Amino acid sequence: MLQHKKILLGITGSIAAYKAALLARELQRRGAVVRVVMTPSATEFITPLTLATLTGHKVYSDFTENKDSGEWTNHVELGLWGDAFLIAPATAQTLSAMVSGTCDNFLMAVHLSSRCPVIVAPAMDLDMFQHSATQANLQTLQNRGVPIIEPDSGALASGLEGKGRMAEPEAIADWMEDWLQKQAPLNGKKVVITAGPTHEPIDAVRFIGNRSSGKMGFALAQELQSAGADVHLIAGPVQLTAPSGVQVTHVETAVEMHKAAMVAFAQADIGIATAAVADYRAKTVVSNKLHRDEMPPAVELEENPDILADWGKHKKSGQFLVGFALETDQGEDSAKLKLKRKNLDFIVLNSTMDQGAGFGTDTNKISIFEKNGKSHIFELKSKAAVAQDITKLIMTLLPQ
Ligand code: C5P
């Protein structure tokens, strides 16, 4: 969930500030981009140089970059940059300043400028934490929608024992991932995606197949997972690695893909068929390798199941279905027929007439036709960007 997330890390003046270096590292290890703002007192516990080196970004703790030239640091720009503003450690002083809206240092100015969610991980001595003023401040922040990452109990820097230690960096990173998952627009939604080609054997070594790479289906898996969905890919023979956390079922033939897809769709909220399923298979498959002189003059074929059409037949109320149509002409009429015949919510058309679209490429140019007659035409884009467009439309149209 932290992949590509922009986390603004606010560090305030507590001895727990030393753990902020590990926290920045851990967030980055999980894929986040981290930028740091510090209060002046935090810089006495850990140097901006440490954080700047670890994050690869300048660290901000002052309103001015260069007092002589009058260059100033744009707290508004930083406040708008993050997907989340995590203040860890958050001292009793900072919590109080957040409640009153005090703006007496750069970090507090960023706090007032930020539009993203602000999260605090308090750190202080046990009596300071238990003090009714601190507890009232935490309650006020919570009422305003600021989540609090509870401090741990244990040995404190003062020598006392009790609750007040900032949560450990790994635990904070876990908390952030859980929280992001819950915030994600497709949290709790199950998606099943068919991807790649199918291979239909003729003998032990030969098969009927096609040039599908599976890239579009895998890009969609990545994008839908980032939007919080629980994604199950059913992939034919492809040379791709699934994004971590995505469940993958590897299959070879259309019949195998059909079987796995029907089981998965029964539990799914969304079904997306990107696979280029072979429409026919060899009627008889020879178990050994046919020698040249044994080759039949023709291979007798029989029809494969149409997976998407079967999903359409079994579609229950609330389930959402997306199909793809790859056409060698402009293909709009044919795509619209498939949309109807297969009982889809929308169909994505790509045409081999468009350069950079279709099988194998890293780009695609699509048009989308909705069942209610609306259409959307997109420019040539990377398959990752196409996946974003498709995901956005699914989120808009998905029944609540
Ligand atoms: O009919 P056509 O093969 O062009 O339909 C394309 C759509 O139907 C795609 O979404 C494709 O994944 C799906 N399909 C399928 N099973 C088949 C054939 C196509 O799921 N046997």
Are residues 313 and 360 in contact, defined by beta-carbon separation less than 8 angstroms?
Answer: no
d(CA 342, ligand 1 centre) in Å: 9
Q: Are residues 308 and 344 in the same domain?
A: yes
Nearest Cα residue to 186 out of 218, 230, 217, 233? 230
Q: Whose CA is nearest to atom 6 of ligand 1?
A: 325
Residue 220 lies in a domain: yes
Residue 23 lies in a domain: yes
Residue 36 lies in a domain: yes
Q: Are residues 169 and 215 in the same domain?
A: no
Q: Are residues 170 and 205 in the same domain?
A: no
Residue 1 lies in a domain: no
d(CA 326, ligand 1 centre) in Å: 9
Q: Which helix (H) or strand (E) holds 271?
A: strand 270-273
- pLDDT per residue, tens digit, the chain (400 aa), is 898 899 999 999 999 999 999 999 999 999 999 999 999 999 999 999 999 999 999 999 988 777 777 787 788 888 899 999 999 999 999 999 999 999 999 999 999 999 999 999 999 999 999 999 999 999 999 999 999 999 999 988 889 899 999 999 999 999 999 999 999 999 999 999 999 999 999 999 999 999 999 999 999 999 999 999 999 999 999 999 999 889 999 999 999 999 999 999 999 999 999 999 999 999 999 999 999 999 999 999 999 999 999 999 999 999 999 999 998 887 999 999 999 999 999 999 998 888 887 777 889 999 999 999 999 999 999 999 999 999 999 999 998 8
Task: Please give the structure tokens belonging to residue 84.
Answer: 């989340």
Task: Please give the structure tokens belonging to residue 91.
Answer: 């001292």
- At residue 126, φ and ψ (nearest 5 deg) are -60, -40
Q: Are residues 100 and 197 in the same domain?
A: no
Nearest Cα residue to 312 out of 260, 273, 274, 281? 273
Residue 27 lies in a domain: yes
Examine the fold and report which residue of 183, 200, 215 is the final residue of a domain before the chain moves on: 183
Are residues 32 and 177 in contact, defined by beta-carbon separation less than 8 angstroms?
Answer: no
Task: Please give the structure tokens belonging to residue 22.
Answer: 């590990």
Q: Are residues 356 and 282 in the same domain?
A: yes
Are residues 119 and 146 in contact, defined by beta-carbon separation less than 8 angstroms?
Answer: yes
Q: Which atom of ligand 1 is nearest to the CA of 311?
A: 20
Q: Whose CA is nearest to atom 17 of ligand 1?
A: 306
Q: Are residues 26 and 172 in the same domain?
A: yes
Residue 75 lies in a domain: yes
Cα separation, 37 vs 60, in Å, equals 5
Examine the fold and report which residue of 113, 148, 183 is the final residue of a domain before the chain moves on: 183
Cα separation, 243 vs 235, in Å, equals 13
Nearest Cα residue to 97 out of 140, 65, 55? 140
Indicate which CATH number applies to the domain containing 106: 3.40.50.1950
Q: Are residues 68 and 198 in the same domain?
A: no
| Domain coverage including residue 72 | 6-183
Q: Which helix (H) or strand (E) holds 87?
A: strand 84-90
Overall number of domains in the chain: 2
Q: What angle do CA 37, 117, 133 make, to 5 degrees?
A: 80
Q: Whose CA is nearest to atom 21 of ligand 1?
A: 306
Helices (H), the chain: 17-29, 42-45, 48-55, 75-81, 92-100, 106-113, 126-130, 132-143, 169-183, 215-226, 254-267, 307-314, 332-341, 383-397
Cα separation, 168 vs 170, in Å, equals 6
Q: Are residues 166 and 196 in the same domain?
A: no
Q: Are residues 147 and 217 in the same domain?
A: no
Of 258, 303, 307, 348, the residue with max ligand 1 atoms within 8 A of its CB, to mutate for a pocket test, comes to 307
Examine the fold and report which residue of 160, 183, 206 is the final residue of a domain before the chain moves on: 183
Catalytic residue among 105, 137, 187, 210: 210
Of 259, 308, 315, 364, the residue with max ligand 1 atoms within 8 A of its CB, to mutate for a pocket test, comes to 308
Q: Are residues 60 and 196 in the same domain?
A: no
Q: Is 304 a catalytic residue?
A: no
* Pocket lined around ligand 1, Cβ cut-off 6 Å: 194, 254, 273-275, 277, 279, 304, 306-308, 323-325, 338
Q: Are residues 147 and 246 in the same domain?
A: no
Indicate which CATH number applies to the domain containing 253: 3.40.50.10300
- 105, 257, 261, 309 from 233: Cα distances, Å: 49, 10, 9, 18
Q: Are residues 197 and 174 in the same domain?
A: no
